[in-house]
Amino acid sequence: MGYNIAQKIIKSHLVSGQMKPGEDVAIKIDQTLTQDSTGTMAYLQFEAIGIPRVKTEISVAYIDHNTLQAGFENADDHKYIQTVAKKYGVHFSRPGNGICHQVHLERFGKPGKTLLGSDSHTPTGGGLGMLAIGAGGLDVAVAMGGGAYHLAMPKVRKVNLVGKLSPWVSAKDVILEVLRQLTVKGGVGYIMEYAGEGVKSLTVPERATITNMGAELGATTSVFPSDEVTREFLKAQGREEDWIELSADSDAVYDDEITIDLSSLVPLVAKPHMPDNVDTVENVGSIKVDQVFIGSCTNSSYRDMETVAKMLKGKTVHPDVSLVIGPGSKQVLNMLARSGALADMIDAGARILESACGPCIGMGQAPKTDAVSLRTNNRNFEGRSGTASAKVYIVSPETAAASAISGVLTDPRTWGEPKAAKEPEKFIVNDNMIDPPAENGDSVEVVRGPNIKPFPVNVPLAEDIKAQALIKVGDNITTDHIMPSNAKLLPFRSNIPYLSEFCFAPCDPHFPSRAKEKNGGFIIGGSNYGQGSSREHAALVPLYLGIKAVIAKSFARIHMANLINSGILPLTFANEDDYDKVDIDDVLVLENIREKVEKSQPIVLLNKTKNKEIPLELTLSARQRKLILAGGLLNYTKMQSEE
């Protein structure tokens, strides 16, 4: 029996475990990336581990999230990251050089390599044939120190692509169709592997758009083959020597399979407030549009931008629409400027943003009250744009550009001849905004601003836990709900005490004060709890507030890992109906919990207030149980290094 691509990469990097779905496996990590929103904490954690130099093939620190500098906080964090990177052997991508996933695809990604990133959209690298996985900052810190990355061996779902995209239909429509079929929970426990004749018709940037939004499926990652298309992309980047051929064996076996007929797809749109709330642009109709954003790590490649420029040339943005465009990297922006495409955008009335994440994460360009905002980014969670009442629709660059001109949601197929751009034979390469690390790190002083505070560290798991239920939330709670991320809060990502005042603010603004008054307690959640961003702050802030356990119907992968890394118990209801047997302020007891975790014994929650016994499940590997017992990954890592 042959291997699929995902299995081949895992097998070649396997440190321990067996490649059986659900089994704990540890894999060697070749590359890491961080961004400034999560990076400050990751490097603080790396320093705490006490390793003098990173041990990966290459690690890169990007500045792309917190680029609005309304105060000293962001600039201080950037200086800290720059100096800590220089000291410990990490390349530093300066502010303005671009979005981490776009730049990494252009300059560092290699087929067949493993990449771990402190950003949930790290799977973008799968467009190059990498096994690229998003994780919490502490996991990345451990990987930078040479430690293996542990995960439950995923199943592999084959996405068989047949046919070829019709004019005006793009890669964004492909992944929206996958989301429509599988939902935001449909990829949990899976790697999505794309195959079939249709793959050959997709460029690397198109493939990267698809793998990027695999994160919205809840998938561990997504991956494409490395073929001649991959080779041509790397050659155009001046990196042909990084290419290897990588494909599934002819007799490879998959755990599941779906087929997408590219030729049957039409322009699609994800309606508010979930990426899987997908319909056709035609069905949604000509709704009035107030704002359009074209960019983000999903659709900010040179090809995307050139296509948009061709559509805007000679036209004028509708007077009722604010059109903002964010090229994904300095390379993309430079090439647009030299080709004249940038001038065409500006002539049409577009507002050009710096090469950064920007509006996608609520960092500027918040829409007006009750606005309809069309965006090419990957998430449209309620309030994520910075405006709670805004309605965000996810669309392709083609749909976005057509709608910006017309003033209403517009099917680009009504525009006549297609305007799609081609991939350049040669990209402009200038890496002068990527600083290499110092050869001798001992000579570098790490600069720490006053906004950088110590991060919370848990204590070993107690024998018993008795506390109240502090909050009860429903299904599909995102990390944006748990720890909001906007222009006002992003500058405080290295200040957990300050952030704690806003924990669960969209759900219950009184949660922080209640948690402090009660000296911590339990969180009760619904299904898919913690979906969305990889930000470990959604675990670190509850840890700071004294949360002992989260009891939910089910968890999103990265957030569950972050809870375990923080030493917080991720418990699930054995019977989902028991969710209704717990309310806020109920006194809950976990008796002999340390012994039960240690010995993998059944766990029963005692609801003292309602006098009920509720069976719970704790689905952890043997290693994860050790992490929980130790009070988190940092404590466990230190214990291991001392033995």
Active-site residue list: 64-65, 119, 379, 533, 535
CA distances 515 to 467, 483, 555, 583, Å, are 10, 14, 22, 15
Gyration radius of the chain's alpha carbons? 24
> Sign of torsion, CA 435 438 444 448?
positive
Closest CA to 138 of 448, 557, 455, 451: 455
- Strand, coil or helix: 417: coil
Cis omega (within 30 of 0) for bond into 101: no
- Strand, coil or helix: 635: helix
Closest CA to 469 of 597, 292, 299, 590: 590
Structural element, H or E, at residue 45 = helix 36-49
Measured distance CA(565)–CA(457) in Å, rounded? 10
Tokens at 605, concatenated: 């929650």
Cβ proximity of 76 and 95 under 8 Å:
no
Measured distance CA(78)–CA(85) in Å, rounded? 10
Q: Which residues contact 113 (CB under 8 A, 6 or more apart)?
A: 9, 30, 31, 57, 130, 131
Closest CA to 451 of 93, 36, 20: 36
Measured distance CA(560)–CA(250) in Å, rounded? 35
What pairing do the DSSP bridges indicate for beta strands 268-270 and 278-280? antiparallel
Give backbone dihedrals phi and psi of 620, rounded to 5 degrees, phi first.
-130, 150
Q: Which residues contact 643 (CB under 8 A, 6 or more apart)?
A: none
Q: What share of the chain is helix, strand, coil (3-state, %, to 5)?
A: 35, 20, 45
Beta bridge partners of 188: 219
Beta bridge partners of 16: 26
- Identify the burial level of 264 via C-beta atoms within 10 angstroms of its C-beta, where 0-12 means exposed, 13-18 middle and 19 or more buried: exposed
Half-sphere exposure for 445 (CA within 13 Å, toward CB): 3
> Sign of torsion, CA 588 470 617 581?
positive
Cβ proximity of 66 and 493 under 8 Å:
yes
Measured distance CA(398)–CA(316) in Å, rounded? 16
Measured distance CA(629)–CA(631) in Å, rounded? 6
Tokens at 533, concatenated: 């961003």
